Structure 1
């Protein structure tokens, strides 16, 4: 609920500023500087995601994108109506949820819009299971969008970044717990503990160079 909470507070603040016609040039300039920083971070985040990388931490990328949008909404509340690209850009950020609302109302775009809205505003449930100092197994569940968790291999990379390789295994199970036991330099034993207390084992070989299970 972190994403929707932050964005909801940003929306309410922006609406309040617009109603009261708040004029605070110093705060607006400071927020613009902060927003520009988040624009750069958001662009870098998207570029990394396209190439299978991300900032360290399961939710770091989502937090960056959320704060980017939230700072834009905050700026929209502080900005006065003008005919320029900056104002239309901020207005577009503010209007985007209303576009989704229209898409939900229209029958032929409803399903697609719901999936987009859940992906953008719904927080996924992440769990990471450490293998060693460089590798971890991550499970990701996104509400009704995933019947089973997506199992990804997370590899520590380049100080601030990590490489995420999704769907390294596909057991089609929603385990209560996972136990990892490293065997040698390139092998890990994965033990799934089911919700009913039973277990089933999966022995795999991990390629440390490529960061996925074979």
Structure 2
């Protein structure tokens, strides 16, 4: 991955870079895997008569059991955010209601950004020239992939920058750091 650069003016602004073939393949694989997780979650959402009549989609009312999906689709409100609401109210009714109403839209937005990344990703690597809107979608998708990978690896403040080469997660941590650098450089180019 080369750095991102901003070229052009006004409507013709493009955010440009290049990806090697293995980088493009890795990115496509990571984003596609995340899409599969989100699509499965959306496809298993309950259906009710009111949603069928109104066309208003509802999502799951319970948080995902999977840590990766839990990081992509966190609770809306935590008990430590509001002393006036009891933990039972926050963890039960409030989060369930907010989740069932909003989760379909959140999944759609995440999938939309991921599909823009996949659609603009050069097959086999090569040059990239993104509009500002496409670059913003890339930022969203890169962030989501980093969140998912970080949850899978259990990334925390105590996670070292490098793991021993024989550690089973060493290569995954390197990918996490690569995604972080790519996202940081893209933010700078977009700004």
Q: What is the TM-score normalised by the length of structure 1?
A: 0.31
Larger Cα Rg: Structure 1 or Structure 2?
1
User: Hey, which of these two has a bigger chunk of strand by percent?
Assistant: 1
User: Hey, which of these two has a bigger chunk of helix by percent?
Assistant: 2
